[in-house]
Structure 1
Amino acid sequence: MKVYRLGVICVSIFMFFSCDSQEDKKGRFLLKGNGKIQENDLTGAISFYSEALKIDPTFAEAYYNRGIAHSQLAKSEMAISDFTNAISNKPEYLDAYFQRGWAHLDLGEKYKALEDAEAVIKLDQNGYRGYFLKGLVHESLKRYAEALNDFEEAILRQPNNPDLLVNKATILFYTGKLDEALEILENAEKINPEEANLYNLRSQIAFEKSDYEAALFWVEKALEKDPGQAYFYNNRGLYLLFAGQPEKGLEDINFSLRQNSKNLYALRNKGIYYVIKGEKDQAMVYLEDVYQKDPEIPLTKRFLEQAQKL
């Protein structure tokens, strides 16, 4: 399971009107870097931002934009360093605090992410992003009541944001409030019917209700909207296992694992596959490993006990 995060990365464009040639040069390097971001040439963008920083080591916007590029390359530690430098040179840099908190969360540094969320709230009390980030951190800590409150605060500030609604619905799903979650997802669909995550969550709710046909219907719709999302394939694989199509299910699970070999939910699902096939040794390898790392993942204990009885 996961709570879906807003996938918006903002790259600001800064122009400089100055007679100082150094100002002109660093501004041009920044703009060239932004152009490379638009072309999805992240390495090229980093090179141009670095050139700007050679001219002005206090250039907060260049640190920030380079941090964005590092984040896109999943270089979270380097991104954090850049965002920290941006903040050092521009203490009330709201976007830098937000992005640094996100990067801390990616690294599992949850309490540092929480500190950045609080900083965002302090700098922008009427904005939603600080509460959004805070909600993600509390979800990762399994403090669901606090996460729900955070997302509700975010929604108060931006009520028609479908991503926020899906996050709130996800927390309700975690806490077993399935009908409340469905009601919110229906509202989110009216706002943005192209949002793949809401269909995936509907599939999870249907699965929780043992309606495997509906679960497959909704996850297929999610895949129509976002065909490259490995998480959706893993869920479809699970539903196929329960729908009596284990071989097709295994194909999806393996596809998901090729994208992320450490996904505990996919590893659990592979263990379930081997339980269904009656292969005790293989099932035990996967399920014992998952249970040791996170015993609270649903279905793990149930199928581990079944594997032990094979």
Structure 2
Amino acid sequence: MVLIGGVAVIHNRIAFRGIIFCLSFFVSIMPFAVYGAESSKSGVPILQKVAQEYYLKGLEYADRNEFKLAIEQYDQAIALYPKSADYYLKRGEALFKNQQIEQSIKDFTKAIEVQPGKYKSYLVRARSYIASNQKDKAIADMEQSVKICTDGIKRSPKDTEKYIDRGQAYMMLEDYENAANDFSKVLELDSRSDAAFVRRGIAYAMEHEYDLAIIDFNKAITLNSNNDEAFLIRAEIYFLGGNLERAIQDYSEVIRLKPANSVAYAQRGYVYMMSGQAEKAREDSRKAESIDKKIADSAGWMMAIGSISYSHITGNVPEKSDFDAFLLRAIMAYFSAGPNAEIKYEFLRKGPDQVGVSPPDYYLWVEINDNNKRQTGAMRVTAIDKKGFVIPDFLTKDTIEKDFSEVYKIFPLTVCLRIANKIKKEHRI
């Protein structure tokens, strides 16, 4: 008898995760922006006011990707007023973007010392730890960010901002199911929050629940017809689903609402090119470059790479009707399992992980019991030519517990976190 548990069925319309993720990242970090770290009310010392002026100037430079100049302004702000966590946080972000990773870690650490309850500092420090290959510290910071948000919710269970914060933390952790649950809680408390609909829609899209995502974006637009974020992400989903006309319409709405949005021009131009409208594609490309060439080039590159990745996914992942049977067959062959083996597995990340031109990977937690011989562990599975799967890596639970560093060599960091949680959960049981 064969038991299959927790299987996420992947259909033929698999999205390019990178496009959605990049856009969702920009949307999800918007609450992180700080436009006034300290009060300018009467009575505030003059040095603090001057420090705020330097800080705001630093934000302007950072917005223009002039990070060295931004760092210089933040240096002045901190020298005058070293008690603001936001000053360290923003200088750390500029240092990170300027490839000064170790210095960014020091600033994020200082921000945490100044204001320990600021969950965003832990998230951005985790990113720096990832870049410096300190993955265990990154995981600890990500877990701490969720804990801080959860503690805030316990204190104020009806504060929608607390759920938004934790939902953003879950999004950074790629825990889209819990993120969607938090955004749903926001909507229970405030059914007219178009921002919550947008964020839940992104979480659904990252889980390949495209129909649910479209519904949420539609609701957001109904509540606020000027919500350019909803149009922008919905356009991506239409593009990925092959509905180029609707994608163009939504990009056009973004451009109407935000005429200086170079991303919308660049990506509408790409869709025009894909639909055979070469002249309009060239016009949009020129317009995007005239607004911001760096962003336009990045957006165009992202769409081009997305198309390549999309073709590799659709060219390798089996059809819906074959997916479960092919995956089970590969697992049984890997373990040389007999016909009466019991197999359970669940996805550690829904959907395929596509890197460059390599075949797409899936990550599973597998349990197999064959003739009373039980094995449990984490597995990487690769889809090949729509005909099946191969299994390049499997780490037993015992191996993971003995040396967790082996996990980092195979799995993405957020998958490593889920594996760690799996081990903890089994120990509690």
Whether 1:138 and 2:196 are equivalent positions in the alignment is no
Give the partner amino acid of 1:184: D
Contact 1:148 1:171 in 2 (8 A): yes
Whether 1:219 and 2:251 are equivalent positions in the alignment is yes
Cα separation, partners in 2 of 1:190 and 1:248, compared to 1, 3 Å: closer
Contact 2:167 2:180 in 1 (8 A): no
**Quick one: distance in 1 between partners of 2:306 and 2:88?**
37
Q: Which residue of structure 2 aligns with residue 308 of structure 1?
A: none
Identify the match of residue 113 of structure 1 among 142, 158, 164: 142
Larger helix proportion of the pair? 1
Whether 1:186 and 2:218 are equivalent positions in the alignment is yes
**Quick one: distance in 2 between partners of 1:295 and 1:230?**
33
Q: CA deviation at 1:119?
A: 1.9
Q: State the identity %.
A: 13
Cα separation, partners in 2 of 1:50 and 1:60, compared to 1, 3 Å: closer
Q: CA deviation at 1:48?
A: 2.8
Contact 2:104 2:128 in 1 (8 A): no
Mapping 1:115-264, distance limit 5 Å = 115-125=144-154, 126=156, 127-139=162-174, 143-156=175-188, 159-245=191-277, 249=281, 252=285, 259-260=297-298, 264=302
TM-score, normalisation: structure 1: 0.65
**Quick one: distance in 2 between partners of 1:210 and 1:200?**
16
Cα separation, partners in 2 of 1:105 and 1:121, compared to 1, 3 Å: farther
Larger strand proportion of the pair? 2
Q: CA deviation at 1:260?
A: 2.9
TM-score, normalisation: structure 2: 0.50
Higher relative contact order (CA 8 A, sep 6+): 2
**Quick one: distance in 2 between partners of 1:227 and 1:99?**
33
Q: CA deviation at 1:167?
A: 1.8
Contact 1:117 1:134 in 2 (8 A): yes
Most deviating of 184-193 and 197-206: 184-193
Cα separation, partners in 2 of 1:291 and 1:52, compared to 1, 3 Å: same
Give the partner amino acid of 1:88: E
Contact 1:223 1:232 in 2 (8 A): yes
Gaps of 5+ in 2: 1-19, 62-69, 157-161, 312-353, 363-382, 385-429
Q: Which residue of structure 1 aligns with residue 305 of structure 2?
A: 267
Q: CA deviation at 1:198?
A: 0.5
**What are the Cα deviations for residues 253-310 of structure 1, in whole angstroms up to 9, with x where unaligned?**
996775438955433447999xxxxxxxxxxxxxx982239769xxxx99xxxxxxxx
Cα separation, partners in 2 of 1:30 and 1:270, compared to 1, 3 Å: farther
Contact 1:144 1:171 in 2 (8 A): yes
**Quick one: distance in 1 between partners of 2:239 and 2:74?**
44
Structure number with bigger Rg: 2
Q: Which residue of structure 2 aligns with residue 81 of structure 1?
A: 106
**Secondary structure at the counterpart of residue 260 of structure 1:** helix
Most deviating of 253-262 and 235-244: 253-262
Most deviating of 262-271 and 177-186: 262-271
Contact 1:230 1:259 in 2 (8 A): no
Whether 1:48 and 2:76 are equivalent positions in the alignment is yes
Whether 1:13 and 2:38 are equivalent positions in the alignment is yes
Give the partner amino acid of 2:198: V
Cα separation, partners in 2 of 1:117 and 1:154, compared to 1, 3 Å: farther
Contact 1:204 1:215 in 2 (8 A): yes
**RMSD, aligned α-carbons:** 4.3
**Quick one: distance in 1 between partners of 2:268 and 2:300?**
18
**Quick one: distance in 2 between partners of 1:270 and 1:180?**
26
Contact 1:101 1:116 in 2 (8 A): yes
Give the partner amino acid of 1:128: Y
Give the partner amino acid of 1:7: M
Give the partner amino acid of 1:67: L
Give the partner amino acid of 2:54: K
